[in-house]
Chain A
């Protein structure tokens, strides 16, 4: 799989990953580069407090509540691009920010605002703590005349409320993985799990075996234990609500059909390898269908 500007253009893309340091912010920067080359002025934002520590993404440290020092991605921006930040960090953004919209309330990090860079500089990305505020920020960015392409750097479990945003192509997500021999097995399992979840059937796309049990909220081992034994199908809101590990998922799917009320489009895996060759990784992956969805280290631009 090869990533191109068209993969991101005109839609909201969530860049997620299995853990910190999986290359989400590096991928964000790469996607921004692709879009800029294509002449677009995208919008971008983070979710939550911490990005990952990729070499290409410097971070701004700030004393947080209780003396903690949350890190915020510091991303280069161009004139006309939109991003989300907090009041105290706008002073340091160096891009002559113009405030387009403020989010309700105030966080420990100050008021959050959607801003437009009026000149090139660096943007300190501060994410909203609440999912609905992220949704508001994205809606504000998508207002006519602002941005048509949005990149979101954040954890997969923060996607839910934004998956039904109107006015753009359906949002989708990419899954960034940074693998080395020591964590290869863990990353392969995470990829297989995401791949499996992304292919779950949608309710309404075909008949489900009766009786059907609709699970409100997260599907965990504990909630699964409360599902009536006679239920042959389980329906959850979307894939971000499934909190079962691969073993539990496999056991569930042996006896029952797991379906989703709402689908999230999956864009594929972006894999960055250390001390691993793509051929070995592919061999270990062992699934040609999954392999077709893998882009190997595009932002690293290896030169042979």
Chain B
């Protein structure tokens, strides 16, 4: 069953910046856009495989079509309106359905015109796969009778046997009225020197206007009313014959409205009879639109179909697109992520600025993208779908344009008022634990237990790791800079490669100005994941502190003290 992201996985979605990818996912029809807005995260493998299959079918169809054809499909998908009546059986349509208005019939016609165009432009395989058939030819022919092009609509004469004669009479009366009024204006000019032209009224001095009172002008008469203290508004009023014509025109118009209402009722009935069929088309269009949008996004971003059902979490050349974009803007090199984790739990060590949070964000980004039905920006991504996706850690929401500064708040759900930072963390862990217990989960813990002392944190982390190992179907990823976490069987211990010490040493020896060194720190970091055992034993934090200008003697003393504490499992303090 799909999980509605807003209620459960929102902190994970935000932490992994998936919204930045989602914003580029662009279904074009209102039905496709509605589905996008739901942000469904699927846990069912077969449902996801079906979405991937559909995206691949759409990709094949796109590849087989010309650019002109693709552009036309885009054009028609954008023009599809919503159907203007409720879905049959939805409960909204109970009872007698009222007759559709002119605009609503137009919407049905426009829907059908664009649906037929899309279906006609698709290849046979896609048409069959998405169910883009067309069986409403009779209705389409009925609607095509009213309108000067395939999308527009008016109540044409042919919709009611009484309309042609009635409208002919209206045209005749209109013409007589037009002639009569034009004659009155001509007479006003010829007899009184008053040029109304296209105007409905003139403003005349009192003296001149008063001379027009009770005066005839051909068949018409002048009407005079005060405008201000010295002027009057003068109009030409219909004479008796024109008044009779206007009255006749009103009667004919009223009768025309009745006949048009009868015509619209008949058309509405035909539409009502095809309502289920039309909603079937809307469903097919939605699926095609979504699959096409997935395929286009995958092609645009160089994405790969996720391999589901893998016992490992594996990514090759995975690109965390939001960060890749940030790096591009800052002219920094971006290192794609490659890692394979077969164990159900992994701990990622690393110094501050070393990229361990980004590594967690990246893995969660790929996982959520895959479970939202999207292909993943990587050469390969293998995983399994999880019913629960949770993130526990501080939530730094990137500032959207115009939204003010980024906010930071602990992520998770449930009542947290009055809790300290530590209280928040533990509550979030408890909730994630409870959510994971029934059927497995994908859990990400960024700097868990960072709010307590190092000894306590290491104890809690170690115990949490042990506990999570016992949860069937759970995959847990931790980042921490506490090196004293217990080494447990079944847990993978990794570290970020971190600072390129050779380059840092060269920088220090070159006498490079401090400002330039600081600016280049990011470029000296190597965002690769290594086995923790490959740790050099040197402290990145102390080296970075040196680059940042910490006194040389203080840096050296810190390095000596750190080395004295031993390497890897012997270390018991905060690295930084």
Binding site for B on A (CB under 8 A): 29-30, 33-34, 36-37, 55-56, 87-88, 90-92, 94, 96-100, 102, 110-111, 113, 116, 118-120, 180, 216, 273-275, 297, 299-304
Which residues of B have CB within 8 Å of A29?
Answer: 200
A90 to B204 alpha-carbon distance, docked (Å): 36
A304 to B195 alpha-carbon distance, docked (Å): 12
Query: Which A residue sits closest to B200, measured CB to CB?
Result: A56
Listed residue (A36, A56, A98) with the most chain B CB atoms within 10 angstroms of its CB: A98
> Which of B103, B174, B201, B205 sits near A56, CB closer than 8 Å?
B201
* CB of B202 within 8 Å of the partner chain: yes
Shortest B384–chain A CB gap in Å is 40
- Contact B154–A97 (Cβ < 8 Å): yes
Looking at the complex, which of B34-42, B226-234, B505-513 is the stretch in contact with chain A? B226-234
Residue pairs across A and B with CB atoms within 8 Å: the count is 100
* CB of B147 within 8 Å of the partner chain: yes
Listed residue (B155, B205, B228, B233) with the most chain A CB atoms within 10 angstroms of its CB: B228
* CB of B50 within 8 Å of the partner chain: no
A303 to B189 alpha-carbon distance, docked (Å): 12
Shortest A304–chain B CB gap in Å is 7
Q: Can you name 20 extra interface pairs (CB under 8 A) apart from A97-B102, A102-B81, A301-B203?
A: A30-B199, A33-B198, A55-B201, A56-B201, A96-B155, A98-B148, A98-B154, A99-B152, A102-B106, A102-B110, A111-B84, A111-B103, A111-B104, A116-B152, A216-B402, A275-B230, A300-B203, A301-B199, A301-B201, A301-B202
Given contacts A99-B106, A300-B202, contact A118 B154 (CB under 8 A): yes
Which residues of A have CB within 8 Å of B193?
Answer: 303
Which residues of A have CB within 8 Å of B101?
Answer: 87-88, 90, 110-111
Give residues 144-203 of B contacting A (CB, 8 Å): 147-148, 151-155, 167, 170-171, 174, 178, 193-203
A97 to B155 alpha-carbon distance, docked (Å): 8
- Contact A303–B106 (Cβ < 8 Å): no
Shortest B509–chain A CB gap in Å is 42
* CB of B253 within 8 Å of the partner chain: yes
Which residues of B have CB within 8 Å of A180?
Answer: 228
- Contact A102–B153 (Cβ < 8 Å): no
16 interchain pairs, CB-CB under 8 A: A33-B199, A37-B197, A56-B200, A90-B101, A99-B152, A102-B106, A111-B101, A113-B103, A113-B106, A216-B402, A274-B228, A297-B203, A300-B201, A301-B203, A302-B203, A304-B205
* CB of B329 within 8 Å of the partner chain: no
A102 to B110 alpha-carbon distance, docked (Å): 10
- Contact A90–B102 (Cβ < 8 Å): yes
Which residues of A have CB within 8 Å of B147?
Answer: 98
Given contacts A97-B102, A111-B101, A216-B402, contact A302 B200 (CB under 8 A): no
Given contacts A98-B152, A275-B229, contact A302 B199 (CB under 8 A): no
Shortest B37–chain A CB gap in Å is 14
Shortest A30–chain B CB gap in Å is 7
* CB of B561 within 8 Å of the partner chain: no
Query: Which B residue sits closest to A122, measured CB to CB?
Result: B253
- Contact A99–B153 (Cβ < 8 Å): yes
Query: Which B residue sits closest to A277, measured CB to CB?
Result: B230
> Which of B104, B151, B199 sits near A299, CB closer than 8 Å?
B199
Which residues of A have CB within 8 Å of B81?
Answer: 102
* CB of B487 within 8 Å of the partner chain: no
A118 to B155 alpha-carbon distance, docked (Å): 11
Shortest A160–chain B CB gap in Å is 16
Given contacts A91-B257, A99-B103, contact A302 B202 (CB under 8 A): yes
A90 to B167 alpha-carbon distance, docked (Å): 17
A90 to B205 alpha-carbon distance, docked (Å): 40
Which residues of B have CB within 8 Å of A56?
Answer: 200-201
Which residues of B have CB within 8 Å of A90?
Answer: 101-103
- Contact B107–A36 (Cβ < 8 Å): no
Which residues of A have CB within 8 Å of B231?
Answer: 302
Shortest A12–chain B CB gap in Å is 22
- Contact B197–A301 (Cβ < 8 Å): yes
A113 to B154 alpha-carbon distance, docked (Å): 12
